[in-house]
Structure 1
Amino acid sequence: MKGIMIQGTASNVGKSWIATGLCRTLVNRGMRLAPFKSQNMSNNSYVTVNGEEMGRAQGIQAEAARVEATTDMNPILLKPTSDQRSEIIIHGVSQDAWSGLQYRNHWYEKGKLAIQQSVHRLENHYEALIIEGAGSPVEVNLNDRELVNMSVAELIDVPVILVADIDRGGVFASIVGTLELLPDNHRKRVKGLIINKFRGERSLFESGVEWLENYTGIPVLGVLPHLEEHGIEGEDSLTVQPTLAKREKSLDIAVIHWPYLSNETDVTPLTQEQDVSIRYVRSVDQLGSPDALILPGTRSTIEDYIVCKEKGLTGAIRAYTERGGVVVGICGGYQILSDVMYRDETDEVGEKGIGIFPLSTTFVKSKQTIRVSGYTHEASGYSSVPMSGYEIHLGRTAGSITKPFLQLEDGPEGISLDQGRLVGTYLHDCFYNDNWRTEWLNRLRRRSELPEQPIVYTVNREERYDNLAAHLEAHLNMDKIFEMVEGSGL
């Protein structure tokens, strides 16, 4: 099958971002393609139209390729639940949580089969794949059973482009070191190099490009300048960065950074606002008195709650709400704001939550993954506006809810107290709904005696993908990359 694989010298060098841009660039050139990442480890997930869970990065890449995302584009998703264990999701179906050793010993063959099945199905629908690797291809202690880098390049028989991040320093050593550690048969697959996140005068790096090409014998396909505010969502929390407002007087919005934070992209639309700054809070001394506090999702709700409770952070959150603070809890954050959380249906004691909402959450084995739409509920304290997003959760939250946040197609959802000052919801992407986000922010602005602002429409995704494609076209040898895809293999 035609295609190309993007591998990196390390995590967070820009593989996902570049793969997304290549999807849009090559589909603009008339190629019928799909993204593919055999195994993704991330707590950022994406829900397909069929209600199946996959890595968010591949969902975004499918949008860039103008195709509907399916779990074949990411057959294996690993969602860390602790430092030692991850939930294993194969073709959108959860297989429980296992340790890394258990996964290697018991799931390797099943994972390999799932990958082969997905590739076979994708071959029947697309002419090419833009494939993303993970981490580094030279994790020598794990390469005997790896399922995501060179083994996949060999399975599909595609050339590899190696990406390095010059912004972190040591770019020459990282490229040469990676190539030196690759076995000869794998090294021969590397047909191009990309230097990413370059800052400064490009001409000063010409000698560096020349040295790399002479030393490695591999062409440098381009040097990509660091692109600020590209708007393409990151794969995982390694990409989470605080934002500064562009105006002198701004709203201070704090976001709790749980140890196993998930779907932090929920707050991304707030970063597009000119008078909003986002900061992440991990301890009591970092909380302060923000204009609003967001409790985002977490993959390990009770465990993360206990960690933050031991730090005194949960008590500080409650005190903030009692002082009149504005709070939004999303998914796991919503659950933590409830009175009590039960580990399963046999748990009679449970773990006491922060207690802002008079609700209880019971965790069950069957996960809810669904796209949803509706309106803000008439009792929410907000104007009735359309709302859409998706749900991914294991908990069932129940109690006396007389003021729901949303009215969805299948009934009321969430809770909204004190005229919308305190909101809890399972709706991921709620801040992507421009009308509601603007109303919520303007309430904060009035409280802080800042001028209200008109609706800032969330930057059109299509525009973002096209801008990224234009960036790659300007700085990469896209003709050469196109030729590599068309002539896939060694």
Structure 2
Amino acid sequence: MKGIMIQGTASDVGKSFIVTALCRILANEGVKVTPFKSQNMSNNSYVTKDGKEIGRAQGIQAEAAKIEATEWMNPILLKPCSDQHSEIVYLGKALEMLSGREYREKFYENGLEVVKSSLKQLENEFDMVVIEGAGSPVEINLNDREIVNMTVAELADVPVVLVADIDRGGVFASIVGTIELLEPNERKRVRGLIINKFRGDFTLFEDAIQWLENRTGIPILGVLPYIENHMVDGEDSLSLQSMFSNRNKGAIDIAVIHLPFISNFSDLEPFLYEEDVSIRLVKCEEEFGNPDAVIIPGTKSTISDLKNIRENGLEFCIRKHVENGGFIAGICGGYQILSEEIIDEAGSDTGMPNYKINGIELIPAITTFYREKETNRMVAHYHENTSLPTNHLLEGYEIHLGKTVLTKQGCSFLLFNNDEEDGYFGNNGQIIGTYLHHLFHNDEWRNQWLNMIRKQKGLPIKEAINIRKYKDERFEKLALQVKKYLKLDLLKDIINQW
């Protein structure tokens, strides 16, 4: 197999970002290239054209490579639903929930086989594969049964490039320490180093590059600058924190309830590009303040996160906010949390069949959890109940367990392309609930919702910002930025000479 594997000294050093850039760079050169990550652990997921669920990073990387995403690009997705248990998504379909120990003991051989078959499938379809590792390749406590780093590099038989993040500090120790901890045969596979997120005067780092190359015997392929707002969706909580670290200080204050098991936080990204919007994460009553709008995002563990909201005093804040005329939107699990009652009929959310709990009771609906998960790409338009223009189409996707049924008629929000009604539209849009992920990526709707808030605050209404048109442009810009600082010819030599 012809390809390269991007591994990192730690999580969130920029592996996904670099793989995305390489996919676009190679695709622009006419290479039929595909991304691959054997196993993801993330609640930020992506739905393929045929309704399979994979890690969001690989879906975005496929878009950068100008191809349709498939389940072969990320055959195993682990979605944490408690501190010790994760849902296993295998070739795009949810299987079961296992603890970390159970997964290692019961699933390793299956995992190894599906990684082999996925690599074979991609090798038959593509000229080159760009593989992303996970965490660090020297997690000593996990390495005897790992299927995410050097094991994958060996199965694919590709060279490895190691990436380190200089912004977090300790870059020399992280690079040298990682290489020292690799087994001799693994160390030989590492053919290049990339230093990511560099700030400041590059000339002050030239001696350090020479030192690293002499110390490790491995060439530095590039020192990439810290790139603000590159819009490559992240996978984990570290990515979530960095997403909001550069938020605008606008006149509209949106509070996002930071759930412990928050999922698909890419739903929130478009607000970062609205100049008059400030978006912030809220974990407890003390942080709530006086927002103009509240968003309760998706969650992998609805009932657990509902309890967390109560324990941290946020339920009272949310109720008071709505009583005072504030806007609120619940997406997927957030929609379920806002309903009157939640019934875990199948035990698929709590592990306790027929468990019942009252929701926040702002949406007249009952949510029931069943065994089967819905994963679909959807097209919708506004329901005639909303008085919004019904000829406007919205696109997004569903990823959810359970069904929410309104107990009050005439207040549905959307009508899906399969003629199913979805969501809740209350008080002329003050209260919104929906299962449609990426709702706010639809420019017309996001602008409609923000203009409701602007009007209430006495701010001038605005025209819609076309965020969607930037999607492909961002890949091109990213490719140019990375290409500028990467020794691409040397990287290609490493690939071709392996």
Range moving further from structure 2, 395-404 or 274-283? 395-404
Match of 1:283 in 2: 284
Match of 2:206 in 1: 206
Match of 2:298 in 1: 297
User: Which one-letter code corresponds to 1:318 in the other structure?
Assistant: R
Could you tell me whether the CA contact under 8 Å between 1:163 and 1:196 is conserved in 2?
Answer: yes
Match of 2:357 in 1: 351
Give deviations 1:159-213, integer Å, cap 9, x for gaps: 0000000000000000000000000000011000000000000110001101000
CA distance in 2, matches of 1:191, 1:454: 50
Could you tell me whether the CA contact under 8 Å between 1:370 and 1:390 is conserved in 2?
Answer: yes
Could you tell me whether the CA contact under 8 Å between 2:248 and 2:272 is conserved in 1?
Answer: no
Shift of the alpha carbon at 1:98? Answer: 0.3
The answer for unaligned runs of 5 or more in structure 1 is: none
2:394 aligned to which of 384, 387, 412:
387
Classify 1:435/1:198 alpha carbon distance in 2 versus 1 (closer, same or farther; 3 Å): same
Residue 152 (structure 2) pairs with residue 118 (structure 1): no
User: Which one-letter code corresponds to 1:421 in the other structure?
Assistant: Q
Match of 2:481 in 1: 471
User: Which one-letter code corresponds to 1:309 in the other structure?
Assistant: R
Shift of the alpha carbon at 1:272? Answer: 0.8
Residue 495 (structure 2) pairs with residue 485 (structure 1): yes
CA distance in 2, matches of 1:26, 1:177: 31
Shift of the alpha carbon at 1:381? Answer: 4.2
Shift of the alpha carbon at 1:246? Answer: 5.0
Could you tell me whether the CA contact under 8 Å between 1:87 and 1:98 is conserved in 2?
Answer: yes
Match of 1:80 in 2: 80
CA distance in 1, matches of 2:355, 2:300: 21
Trace 1:314-463 onto structure 2 (pairs within 5 A). 314-345=315-346, 350-384=356-390, 385-400=392-407, 401-410=409-418, 411-458=420-467, 459-463=469-473
Match of 1:38 in 2: 38
Classify 1:320/1:141 alpha carbon distance in 2 versus 1 (closer, same or farther; 3 Å): same
Shift of the alpha carbon at 1:237? Answer: 2.4
Q: So what's the TM-score if we normalise by structure 1? A: 0.97
Give deviations 1:292-351, integer Å, cap 9, x for gaps: 100000000001111221122122212211221100000000000000111125855611
Could you tell me whether the CA contact under 8 Å between 2:344 and 2:354 is conserved in 1?
Answer: no
Could you tell me whether the CA contact under 8 Å between 2:309 and 2:315 is conserved in 1?
Answer: yes
Q: So what's the TM-score if we normalise by structure 2? A: 0.96
CA distance in 2, matches of 1:331, 1:42: 17
CA distance in 2, matches of 1:288, 1:273: 21
CA distance in 2, matches of 1:412, 1:282: 32
Could you tell me whether the CA contact under 8 Å between 1:160 and 1:192 is conserved in 2?
Answer: yes
SS in 1 for 2:194: strand
CA distance in 2, matches of 1:242, 1:281: 11
Match of 2:184 in 1: 184
Residue 268 (structure 2) pairs with residue 271 (structure 1): no
User: Which one-letter code corresponds to 1:418 in the other structure?
Assistant: N
CA distance in 2, matches of 1:30, 1:250: 45
Trace 1:238-253 onto structure 2 (pairs within 5 A). 238-240=238-240, 241-242=243-244, 250-253=251-254
User: Which one-letter code corresponds to 1:479 in the other structure?
Assistant: D
Range moving further from structure 2, 157-166 or 341-350? 341-350
Identity over aligned pairs, percent: 52
Shift of the alpha carbon at 1:244? Answer: 5.7
Classify 1:361/1:196 alpha carbon distance in 2 versus 1 (closer, same or farther; 3 Å): same
User: Which one-letter code corresponds to 2:457 in the other structure?
Assistant: S
CA RMSD of aligned residues (A): 1.3
The answer for unaligned runs of 5 or more in structure 2 is: 348-352
CA distance in 2, matches of 1:406, 1:7: 42
SS in 2 for 1:158: coil
SS in 2 for 1:455: coil
Trace 1:162-177 onto structure 2 (pairs within 5 A). 162-177=162-177
User: Which one-letter code corresponds to 2:291 in the other structure?
Assistant: P
User: Which one-letter code corresponds to 1:260 in the other structure?
Assistant: F
Shift of the alpha carbon at 1:27? Answer: 1.3
Give deviations 1:76-122, integer Å, cap 9, x for gaps: 00000111010011101211110000000000000111111111111
CA distance in 2, matches of 1:245, 1:239: 14
CA distance in 2, matches of 1:88, 1:133: 18
Range moving further from structure 2, 194-203 or 397-406? 397-406
SS in 2 for 1:207: helix
User: Which one-letter code corresponds to 1:192 in the other structure?
Assistant: G
User: Which one-letter code corresponds to 2:233 in the other structure?
Assistant: E
Match of 2:70 in 1: 70
User: Which one-letter code corresponds to 1:210 in the other structure?
Assistant: Q
SS in 2 for 1:61: helix
CA distance in 2, matches of 1:349, 1:478: 56
Which has the higher relative contact order, 1 or 2, with Cα contacts under 8 A spaced 6 or more apart?
1
CA distance in 2, matches of 1:143, 1:12: 20
